[in-house]
Each structure stands twice: as C-alpha cells, then as structure tokens.
Structure 1
Amino acid sequence: MKLTGLNYRHLYFFWVVAKEGSITQAAERLGLAIQTISTQLGLLEQSIGKSLFAPQGRRLVLTEAGRIALRYADQIFLLGEQMQDALADSDVGRTMRLTVGLSDSLPKLIASRVLQAALQLPEKIKLVCYEDRFETLLGDLSVHKLDVVLADRPVQSGTTLRVFSHLLGESDIMLFGLPALAKKYRPGFPASLNGAPLLLPTRNNAIRGRIDHWFETQNLRPDIVGEFDDNALLNTFGRNGMGLFPAPSALIADVEAQFGALPVGELQNVHEQFYAISNERKIKHPAVDAILSAIHG
C-alpha cells in the first residue's frame, strides 16, 4: 500500500509507546488519556494497513512491521530534535554545529586530538558527539544525521553508501599497565607476556587481528582476562589494574596522565590507523573541511 499522507502526530504517539513499552506509560509521559493514545495508534495502523504491536502479558511488543517503523521514526524524530537545536543555536551569535559520530572502538583521546582542528576555527563551534557501532554510524552519515564519522577503519570497497574515507594517520601500538604491572612485566619483554593478564578489544575490532598475529609470531600465550567492544570501557578496566592493555604509542603521555598507566613494551610492526569518513555534500561543512585540511596540510 502506498501512503499518500502519513500523520506524523500519530507516528509520534507510536514512537513514544514503543519507547515506553506500554500505552499507559506513554499516556503518563505525554499527559494524555490512555484512550487518546490507543485511538490514534489504531488510526496509524489502519492508515498503513499493518499491526505495529502485539500484546505480551501486560506489555506491548513490536511486530516486524513495528520494528521497521521504529527505525525510521527514530531517524525522523532525532532529526527533528537536531533541527530545533540548530535553530536555537542560530539565535546565539555565529554558532556552527558539528555533529560527529565516534566509533566505539576508536581511542577517545585520538578523537579529541582530531577535533581540535575544528574547534580552532574563528566561528564558535557547538560540538555534538554520538558513539555507536561503525555500521550504524555509516548509516546515520549517509542520511545526513552526522557531519563526519571518526573510526579505526575505512569504509569497505563496494559499499552502496556515498561516503568517503580519509586517512588521518597511524600509530604504533604499545602495552600499558599500572605501575605494579608494568614493573612486573617490563623486564624480559616480550617473553614476560606468557601468562600475563591482558585486556583486548573483541575480535570484530580492526586492531585485534593484528595483535593476535603478533602473539602468534612471537610464540606467546598471554592470559586474556577481558575482551571489550568499547575502547573506553577497556581503558577503564586497565586503569583499575585488571590487566595490561593496548593503546597507541602516540598517546603515552595522555595514557599516563589519564589512567596512571606506564608503557610496558611496543608490539613491533603492529599499527593502528585512524580515519575521518565524510559524506558527499553540495555545501561542505567548514568544520569538516578544517579537519580534512589539517590531515592533508
């Protein structure tokens, strides 16, 4: 069925019900009668010809059609919130909004250094950062919810998305640990890593395969006590002394200052790369241009 006129008020009520998990809670959040929400939800389902919810006990669960609708509703209402923020910013001097997606595997200290180029523009920049999985961020970039994505990998060739990868640079990788761990495992490195407690990214992280290969070539068997999707969480456990953890050698001073960790040794020939991924746009964002100019300048 082709929709000729979607009622966005009805869609908004659906979105709130989906987020709250019940019509009762949605009604409380919106300050409306339960019957009002229920009626308008029914009108939405009638207009699209599909059921969006199915009852499960006292709660409502999304049908397959509901899950599809929710993905689009998330985009629609997030863009609406961003539009309101942008309009509000336009009333306060010359504020420019830069919306950045940060891959959850990207070292956040690297991201902050990259964004310095944008923050040094003459115009006042309002920086808005979202962290998510790489694939999710690319989708958001392709529909212009983001201005740029910072990640530890490029976009694979053959993708249908009109996005472009720009190499920011690369860094050697070192293992770090709190002073007691560094003192214990630095002598005799790398042989000392046999049985050493290690915190690593999960295997879907770009750098993990290179680290595993390095251990194989060195014939080392560390004790991997934790694996993490999120780089910041990995560093947090490293700061708590759970084990040694990898980080770019370019961040030695930052890692020591922020996490109290010291370098143990370098994983020779293991490098991590960093990318800015931009969208093809008729009007280029000055802050994104500043980042890319700093890369190539």
Structure 2
Amino acid sequence: MSSEWLNYHHLHYFWVVAREGSIVRACEVLHLSQPTISTQLQQLERSLGGELFERKGRGLQLTDLGRTIKRYADEIFTLGNELTEVARGRPAGPHRLSVGISDVVAKLMVYRLLLPALKLPEPVKLVCREGHLEDLLKGLVAFELDVILSDAPLSAGSPIKAFSHLLGECGVSIFGTAKLRQAYKKGFPQSLNGAPLLLPGSQTLTRRALDQWLDEQQIHPLVTGEFQDTALMKVFGQEGIGLFPGPSAIEAEVCRQYSVKVVGRIDQVRERYYAISVERRLKNSAVLEISHAAKSHVFHIEK
C-alpha cells in the first residue's frame, strides 16, 4: 500500500457507493457528479493498490479487497458519527457485534449463547449472518465478522488461519407432543423402535452421531422427515408428525416454545459448540461474555 496518507473523502465516497450499490445512487446521496465520484474512486484504488469494484450486470459488486475496505470504512464512519454525537453531548451508539452463525446450529441455542452480550453495561448492536461455515470463514478473515458460532471446530487442514474455542457440550434430548410422549416414553430408548422420528439432514454432525448410536443400539425408528432447517423440523414436531432431537441444554426453551415434552435423553450423543475467531485468545468484550456465560450457565462447565 502507498505510504501516502489515506484520503478520507475518497474513502467516504467509496463507502457510499458500496452502500448504495451504484455510482448513480451515490451521486444522488452525495450531490456530486458521476465523473467526480468515478475519478476519486480511481484515485482511491491507486492508493490502495487494487480494484474495489467489479461490474455485475448494471450494478457494481465489491471485490475481495473492496469487502475488506468496506468493513474498515463501516467502523471508521460509525466511530466518526459516535464522536460527533459525544462531542454534542449525546450518548454514543451501541457497540457493533457481527456474528456468523453456522446454519446447522439450533436457533434457540444461538439465542441462549448470544443473549449475555446484549446484557452488558455498554449497549451492543447485534448483527447476525447465517450461512455455511466455509462461507462464514471467508467473512471472518476479511474482518466482516467478529466471531462465528458453529457446531464443529475449524478442520485441521483448513487454509484459513483462525482458532476454535469450545463453548461447551451437552447430550441430545428427544421431544414430542404429549400424545407421542405417552406412547414412547416407557421403555425409552428401545421404545424408539418403529417410532416416527424427524431428523436433521445427513450433513450435520448430530445426525451422523445419532445414526451411529441407533445402529449400535439396534434401534430402527421410522424416519418420517429430514430437515436442513432444524427450526422447521421442530414446527413439524410441534404438530405431532414425529419425535425430534434437540440439545439437552435448551430443553426448557424447546418445550416452552414448541409446546412439547421431553420423551427421553441420549447422553451418549454429544453436541459441541464453538466460537471461531481470528484470535488465539478471545479479546472482544462481548465475545468474552458469551464464552463465560456459555461455560457457567448454558453448559455448566466446571473450572
């Protein structure tokens, strides 16, 4: 990168273009001509040593460098706005916490894990982004995310330089409506033989662990549905279509939200949850609070 001072006017124009999605809309916001903004974007690209946008149909799409620069610009101009507010005697806005969430993690578990960050003395603005772990990792190393919540650690062969921090683990509970509980609670887990069972997709660690455990116990349920979205699986379970698994650590929340009951528990099948960050040791105060609360209240890990 050039040793010259960064031109923050140029950076602001870039930020508005990235936010609006086109130079034309940015011109309307900034009340500047298109040639003016185009020229200053080119100057910013020269100073940063790379292209920030690429054409996508009639619009613009950020390059990898552009996404990284936008992440920093978001922070710079958010802090600038806060500085102005504080200087005028107004309270500063909330701290932004950007969290990537692996799409296989139960939504109620995500809520339990993230809630402590929202109870910190300093206000936090939570920004959640859900997706496949591989895609979220790209956002993490591009500084678009502060942390990722996942049911699996970063694989040993991953080219991404990041670190997995175990938040905790728990067994799996089997839930069902009151009618299904009455039918299958007695004699659990052998009572699952032939029982209607809803399961997460085969790509999840929980599904693979459950399949292995069922095989070992020689239990053969009637699988009546497979779901990539476990929240959808619970909705079907709520309607009595079948029994379904969920993390034992959030039994009370699952029972309350979906009006179901615990049929039985399978402690041999374990679900683990991780915070993945670019830091070897967690430093972000909100993420530290998430980690502490998970170990002391959600999973009750003894020190």
- TM normalised by structure 1 equals 0.71
Q: Which runs of 5+ in 1 are unaligned?
A: 1-7, 18-25, 54-59
Q: 1:199, CA displacement in angstroms?
A: 1.3
CA offsets 1:84-138 (integer angstroms, 9 cap, x no match): 6665566442521111111111122222222233233221111111111111111
Q: Residues 118 and 161 (structure 1 numbering): CA distance in 2 closer, same or farther, change over 3 Å? A: same
Task: Tell me if structure 2 keeps the 8 A contact 1:174–1:246.
Answer: yes
The SS at the match of 2:105 is coil
Q: Residues 186 and 27 (structure 1 numbering): CA distance in 2 closer, same or farther, change over 3 Å? A: farther
CA RMSD of aligned residues (A): 3.9
Q: 1:72, CA displacement in angstroms?
A: 7.1
Q: Residues 232 and 78 (structure 1 numbering): CA distance in 2 closer, same or farther, change over 3 Å? A: farther
- Once residues 117 and 165 of structure 2 are traced to their aligned partners in structure 1, the CA distance between those partners, rounded to angstroms, is 16
- Once residues 270 and 217 of structure 2 are traced to their aligned partners in structure 1, the CA distance between those partners, rounded to angstroms, is 16
Task: Tell me if structure 2 keeps the 8 A contact 1:239–1:259.
Answer: yes
Aligned equivalent of 1:21: none
Map 1:234-273 to 2 at 5 A. 234-273=233-272
Task: Tell me if structure 2 keeps the 8 A contact 1:99–1:146.
Answer: yes
Aligned equivalent of 2:207: 208
- Once residues 291 and 170 of structure 1 are traced to their aligned partners in structure 2, the CA distance between those partners, rounded to angstroms, is 15
Q: Residues 220 and 72 (structure 1 numbering): CA distance in 2 closer, same or farther, change over 3 Å? A: farther
Aligned equivalent of 1:136: 135
Q: Residues 86 and 171 (structure 1 numbering): CA distance in 2 closer, same or farther, change over 3 Å? A: farther
Aligned equivalent of 2:94: 95
Structure 2 letter corresponding to 1:249: S
Aligned equivalent of 1:5: none
CA offsets 1:68-96 (integer angstroms, 9 cap, x no match): x7777777767766766665566442521
- Once residues 278 and 177 of structure 2 are traced to their aligned partners in structure 1, the CA distance between those partners, rounded to angstroms, is 40
Q: Residues 222 and 27 (structure 1 numbering): CA distance in 2 closer, same or farther, change over 3 Å? A: farther
CA offsets 1:114-168 (integer angstroms, 9 cap, x no match): 2233233221111111111111111111111111111111111122212111111
The SS at the match of 2:135 is helix
Map 1:275-294 to 2 at 5 A. 275-280=274-279, 284-294=283-293
Task: Tell me if structure 2 keeps the 8 A contact 1:101–1:130.
Answer: yes
Q: Residues 61 and 236 (structure 1 numbering): CA distance in 2 closer, same or farther, change over 3 Å? A: farther
Q: Which runs of 5+ in 2 are unaligned?
A: 1-12, 29-33, 43-50, 86-90, 296-300
Q: Residues 127 and 52 (structure 1 numbering): CA distance in 2 closer, same or farther, change over 3 Å? A: closer
CA offsets 1:225-245 (integer angstroms, 9 cap, x no match): 221222222222222322111
CA offsets 1:195-220 (integer angstroms, 9 cap, x no match): 22211111111111110011101212
| Identity across the alignment (%) | 38
Task: Tell me if structure 2 keeps the 8 A contact 1:94–1:123.
Answer: no
Aligned length: 263
Map 1:5-84 to 2 at 5 A. none
Map 1:112-191 to 2 at 5 A. 112-191=111-190
User: After the TM superposition, which of the residue ranges 250-259 and 84-93 deviates more from structure 2?
Assistant: 84-93
- TM normalised by structure 2 equals 0.70
